[in-house]
Amino acid sequence: MKKTTITKVILATGLCGLAVNTHAFDFKISGQISRMVVAPDDAVGDELQHQDIGWSGTRFRITGEEELASGQTVGFKLEQQIQSNPAFASAGGSQTNGGNDDFIDNRLQDIFIQGNFGKISMGKGDGASNGATESDLSGTALSSSSNHQDNWGNYVVVAGATPEENITWDSIFTMNDGISRVNRLRYDTPSANGFGLSGSLDQGNAYEIALRYSGNVRGATVKSAIFYVDTNEFASDAEVFGLSASVLLGNGLNATVAFSDRDNRPDVSPDQEAFTIKLGYIYGVNAVTIDYGLGERGNDEADTFGLTYATKLSANIEGFATYRKLDADIDNASSVDLAALGARIKF
């Protein structure tokens, strides 16, 4: 057989194999670009900041799945976040690092099997109760999630002698949620009349459980969750309990509440509580909300107030404008004020 013929046979065989594999396991690439401009005023400065949206950052993912002959589906999620000057890397109102730092985060590396028994997930992914304080039907969740904590840039309430001694917004007001993106083994039950139960065994012997509901009640759309977490060695033996609920009426009016309670070991940190309420209205592709939150950490207290407008031009294009204020009831505290414009485009 001539060399050219042998080469053709090898190439044809390889291409056939590639085609079979491609059709057997379906996968897709998706992601998003997230950016915002923030005008802050806190205890250390008021410099204009150009940021990646820290809580929903620029990222890309590869997902895939294959249906087995037995009827179950096996799949995977792989997600990387690539951010330039994310909000969490800011130094309050003083942009000391020049605002050009890049961050790469391995967010998800997860495999799962799903069937009429429910879903079992293994690898790095959301803990069972992650997002349980974020039930939100207001249309403004991108910029004004129901857990109104400092996602904006480590803003400073009291300036210390060094940056390490600063008292920041989120050191007083934090809505504690489930454990996010952790190595774990997770199980989700099938949905039954809108209810679903999730549990996971996480890294560091942490464990968590959450009950969620999504459905319609007397013509209103309802989304809610309640959860419990024992962080064990993963996060200094804290116990966290919380819940959230959001109701959207047919006329666009909506209301959202969230609450969390974190009991810390006394030698590690004071206990924390947080509560927020948000009222809103959706009209066409637009949404507006007004919200109030109260947070406690030991004897320190802080409250926050926010106004948000959001527009969803399509399923993949969303923009927002937000004003937020936080006041802390502690000695020598400065209020934190910020205005932000942002957008997220999914692909």
Domains and CATH numbers, the chain: 35-53+125-346 (2.40.160)
3-state DSSP assignment of residue 227? strand
- Cα gap 144→311, rounded to integer Å: 13
pLDDT above 70 as % of the chain: 91
pLDDT on residue 13: 42
* Per-residue pLDDT tens digits for 198-223: 999 999 999 999 999 999 999 999 99
Looking at beta carbons, which pairs linking 304-307 to residues 24 or more positions away fall under 8 Å?
Answer: 304/148, 304/173, 304/276, 306/144, 306/148
- CB distance 96 to 72 below 8 Å: no
3-state DSSP assignment of residue 131? coil
pLDDT band per the 50, 70, 90 thresholds, residue 100: low
pTM for the structure as a whole: 0.87
* Per-residue pLDDT tens digits for 289-334: 999 999 999 989 999 999 999 999 999 999 999 999 999 998 889 9
φ/ψ (deg, to 5) at 268: -105, -50
- Count of residues for the chain? 347
